Chains A and B, each alone.
Chain A
Amino acid sequence: MSEPVLEVSNLRKSYGDRVVLADIDLTVSRGDVICLIGSSGSGKSTLLRCVNLLEEIDDGVIRFQGQEVSDPRVNRREVRGRLGMVFQSYNLFPHLTVLDNITLAPRKVHGVARAKAETRARELLERIGLAEKATAHPDRLSGGQQQRVALARALATEPALLLLDEITAALDPELVGEVLAIVRDLAADGTTMVLATHEMSFARDIATQVCFLDGGRILERGEPERIFTAPEEERTRQFLRRVLPA
């Protein structure tokens, strides 16, 4: 068994007096797909932001590929270069074409030559079914298409770990499917991912492990089959009753 990609232990995060994450332990091995579920404000997004070093943590240790990245001396940009993140609101750069959105980080951060970066970007666009949109600007695309481009942008740097923060939450129901289909493909290809999601049946299908967060703590975790059919905690049962169709 090789060393885990990501190891979070005893993580704590607070904003002033409000504790948003406490006693978080999480281990992600290669090929894992970890789904974080829980109601809004339970800390799912904050956890992802902490892992991506977008938030300064108050305690605990985050290790990524064997390196402690929660050390203040660590070069955050270098770490982020090995992580991919997709946000709920796409956050594509509106002044750049789809192709330029995807090739920006490979070219500027990783020093890939333009031609090579563009070849790779076109492959990714092919894979997400948007090859013909390469020269379009993001605002010309539907929400679902934009989010697929955002996924391609995150994948362009070949990250060791992909963080997805409720990437379908801002989409029309009919557009959710096309985005989830790509994530499903990625999971099938063995991409290591941690994702916060409200799509329970999707989580059930692709997760290797499901974590239920409540009040900033991981209250329960386990195989999706077990969490969704036989949750141990009363809070988990309540949550699932609310979100799962009867």
Chain B
Amino acid sequence: MTDLWQPSARELERQETRRSMSRRSLLIATVAVVVFFGAVILAVVSSPGWPNVRNTFFSVEHAKASFPEIWKGFWRYNVIIFLIAEPLILVLALAVALARQARAPWLTPIRIIAVVYTDLFRGIPTLLLVMLFAFGMPALQLRGVPNSGLFWSIVALVLSYGAYVAEVFRSGIESIHPSQVTSAEALGLSRGQTMRHVVVPQAVRRVVPPLLNDFVSLQKDTALVFVVGVLDGVWAAQDYGNYNFNYTPMVVVAAFFVVLTIPLARLTDWLQRRMAERERAGAR
């Protein structure tokens, strides 16, 4: 449309008001941030025990000295365990969630297994599972499977998180409106096809945020393997601390975990936004 619009005097005045309002918001935000965090930092630094805490937990030399071992343990175990366990968890969890949705009568045993599995493994503390598997399974002296603590810890993590994530998938599947299933059936799709092409794709999108939550949780729980003697980053930190009477390595390894989770969170945010833009044009 071609029109020769010039903002009216009132509109120009209004734009100026909006600008000054946003300047004011920015100012308030800045002051609030400075005051709040300034007060927190001041409270910590001025506390009587701070010099002691700084030397024990935030010592630069100890951080540098412990870094190589922590890096090695963290990369070789925590990251690798996560990378192996996560895809297995997703596959297992989706399979369990779908098994619970199965309606065919001959699949009833599968449904029962799925229900019992989630109830059982969700109820046992992950730490206990890791110990039970890593110490108990090798004792069975099974042939053809590794007896290492690492292997069985991964199995324990997969089974424990599989139960959690299966429930996340199930809630996603159940949140899809029945009309979607009806319209898929009206097109002649089988129940399996309906799940595969209509329900699950929508459900997965919906549960991405809680899934990320469980991913992050799993990343942290890779630290549990040190109780069965896997020499991961946390073990390295503790080892160093015990020799040198300094806890700085704990802070270092904590920073490793944080750094590992942040890119994942940003990636998920980005994926979510892209999906929303593509599917919900105009919705805000």
Interface residues of A, Cβ cutoff 8 Å to B: 10, 12, 18-19, 22, 58-61, 70-73, 215-216
Contacts and interface: CB of A to CB of B under 8 A. Distances in A.
A72 B17 contact: yes
A59 B1 contact: no
Contacts of B18: 72
Chain B, interface residues (CB within 8 Å), range: 10 to 19
A201 B1 CA distance: 32
Contacts of A70: 14
B106 interface: no
Given A72-B14, A73-B21, A215 B1 contact: yes
Contacts of A60: 8, 10-11
Contacts of B7: 58-59
B17 A22 contact: no
B73 to A, nearest CB: 49
B26 to A, nearest CB: 15
B28 to A, nearest CB: 15
Nearest to B6: A59
A219 B69 CA distance: 77
A59 B17 contact: no
Contact of B14 (A18, A22, A71, A216): A71
B8 to A, nearest CB: 6
B21 A59 contact: no
Contacts, number: 31
B3 interface: yes
Contacts of B8: 10, 59-60
29 contacts: A10-B8, A12-B5, A18-B1, A19-B1, A19-B3, A19-B5, A22-B1, A22-B3, A22-B5, A58-B7, A59-B5, A59-B7, A59-B8, A59-B10, A59-B11, A60-B8, A60-B10, A60-B11, A61-B10, A70-B14, A71-B14, A71-B17, A72-B14, A72-B18, A72-B21, A73-B17, A73-B21, A215-B1, A216-B1
B91 to A, nearest CB: 34
B11 A58 contact: yes
Interface string B12-29: 001001100100000000
Nearest to A70: B14
A18 B1 CA distance: 7
A22 to B, nearest CB: 6
B79 to A, nearest CB: 42
Nearest to B22: A72
A60 B21 CA distance: 19
A91 to B, nearest CB: 13
